[in-house]
Amino acid sequence: SWLRGAAIQRVFEALQTDGGEVRAVGGAVRNALLGEPIRDVDMCTTALPQQVMERAEAAGLKAVPTGIDHGTVTVISSGEPFEVTTLREDVETFGRHAVVRFGRDWAHDAARRDFTMNALYCSADGTIHDPLGGLEDCLARRVRFIGRAEDRIREDYLRILRFFRFHATYGAGPTDDEGLLASVRLRDGLSQLSAERIGAEMKKILAVKTCPPVIAVMEGTGILPLLTGGVARLASLAALKSLSDELPEAGSPILALACLTGFAGEDAGRIARRWRLSNQERDTMFRAIEGSVALLLASRPAAVLKAQMMAWGRETACDALVLAHARARSAGRGETGFAGLHELARSWDIPVFPVTGHDLITAGVPKGPALGSAMERLRSLWAASDYRAAREELLAALSGE
Ligand code: ATP
Ligand code: MG
């Protein structure tokens, strides 16, 4: 059905002229075969990049030379981007820095890819092309390196992390022992990767709901400590596991990271810097950790939540509850009550706080610290009234003090 869409068919039609052949490749084909959701479609063609540009434009499609040096043109069809890459083959193999040239041989193109399940091609009519025998592995959800795992890892150490990510996502099948052993043996090579690539890939792994067993293997084999600089501890894996078991937000990489760093602000900060998180990601993590601590320390979490909801906002409140829940569960608490509060927070309709700073000044509160603390008091009064107290009531309370 993904193939029958008008957008993708227009790309096929546009490029399949003059004997040029076009096939979808990689994640889309793999996910279609496995019945998993398809995010974006990468395509491969025998046509040269310049021809791709010309043919797409001749068919009325927008074409952007997004990576023209390595043969990639992004073709936009019905607003959807398709990355179209000319077949490549390595002249000499130096991994990502390989000298490549454009080719016409599908098997050569396949051999440059990482795993057999990622080297499947699909024509416009749905025919699957399987130059390396990846179909069987794919259907068995077996993540297997193309060629000798050690050689392939030495070409690009990121493949160690991709091995674990695909394992977390699809690896219900048998583990590729050769791949795992090679990953462990060559783990020191991870230090050659840039922080950006490590951070981006780790976020992708942590975004997988079923990542905890894989993270545990990464921890046990010494790979995770190399990546975190020794921050993540086994104890925090328990929280990660309960995060993924219990709540729908398990797919959140930032919350997963918060679990992994053991909810310690200092370690979270270190990882955030090390993995080049954006300021927004870092703040989201800190707010969730701080909120969860407040909820866990409270004798009446519901009251804390209610009082804080306004200041935190719904998103932070939900994050904090999810984390508090995961943490309480991993510490052995059965019924934490946080899951129920989470439902509540999600459906809580917080009205807009009815009093403004201007109201307070008009009511005679002097500008400066007094204004802030008066505002704080009114906010708690308002929360205590279940957000029902009207502006006049609140202002009256002010003068009554
Ligand atoms: P998804 O996009 O769902 O995460 P994907 O398989 O499409 O999965 P991408 O990172 O988009 O992954 O890469 C597209 C394809 O390019 C892969 O399927 C694989 O064939 C190839 N590829 C990507 N990165 C590498 C790499 N580091 N080494 C070898 N081949 C790679
Ligand atoms: Mg992809």
What tens digit of pLDDT does each residue of 144-201 get? 999 999 999 999 999 999 999 999 999 877 788 999 999 999 999 999 999 999 999 9
Q: Give residue-wise pLDDT tens across range 42-97.
A: 999 999 999 999 999 999 999 999 998 889 999 999 999 999 999 987 766 555 55
Mean pLDDT value of segment 27-46: 95
Ligand 1 binding pocket includes 26 (Cβ within 6 Å): yes
Instruction: Please work out whether the CB of residue 39 comes within 6 Å of at least one atom of ligand 1.
Output: yes
Closest-approaching ligand to the CA atom of 162: 1
Quote the percentage of the chain above a pLDDT of 90.
Answer: 63
Contact 227, 197 (CB under 8 A): no
Separation CA 73–CA 70 (nearest Å): 9
Q: Is the CB of 42 under 6 A from ligand 1?
A: yes
| Distance from Cα 205 to the centre of ligand 1, integer Å | 14
Least confident of 36-50, 202-216, 244-258: 244-258
Homologous superfamily of domain range 148-227: cca-adding enzyme, domain 2 (1.10.3090.10)
Task: Classify residue 88 as left (phi > 0), alpha (psi -120 to 50) or beta.
Answer: beta
Alpha helices in 221-300 (DSSP H): 223-228, 234-246, 253-260, 265-274, 279-297
Tell whether ligand 1 has an atom less than 6 A from the beta carbon of residue 171: no
* CA 12 – CA 28 distance, rounded (Å): 15
Distance (angstroms) between ligand 2 centre and the Cα of 87 equals 16
Report d(CA 20, CA 158) in Å as an integer: 32
Our mutation pick for probing the ligand 1 site, out of 25, 118, 146, 152, counting the most ligand atoms within 8 A of Cβ, is: 118
Residue closest by Cα to atom 18 of ligand 1? 26
- Residue 145 DSSP symbol: B
- Nearest Cα to Cα of residue 3 among 27, 28, 39: 28
The pLDDT of residue 340 is above 70: yes
Task: Using the predicted structure, report yes or no on whether residue 123 has a pLDDT greater than 90.
Answer: yes
Look at ligand 1, atom 15, and give the residue with the nearest C-alpha. Answer: 26
**Distance of CA 77 from the midpoint of ligand 2 (Å):** 17
Strand, helix or coil at 45? strand
**Ligand approaching nearest to the C-alpha of 38:** 1
Q: Which fold has domain 1-139?
A: Beta Polymerase; domain 2 (3.30.460)
Show me where the domains of the chain are located.
Answer: 1-139, 148-227, 231-348, 357-399
- For residue 312, count CB atoms less than 10 angstroms from its CB and return exposed for 0-12, middle for 13-18, buried for 19 or more: buried
| Alpha carbon of 27 to ligand 2 centroid (Å) | 5
Is this complex's ipTM strictly greater than 0.85? yes
Q: How many CA atoms lie within 13 A of 271 on its CB side?
A: 34
Q: What is the pLDDT of residues 317-333, one digit of tens each?
A: 999 999 999 889 888 88
Q: Which ligand is nearest to the CA of 30?
A: 1
292 Cα–ligand 1 center, Å: 36
- Whole-number Å distance between alpha carbons of 25 and 87: 11
114 lines ligand 1 (CB under 6 A): yes
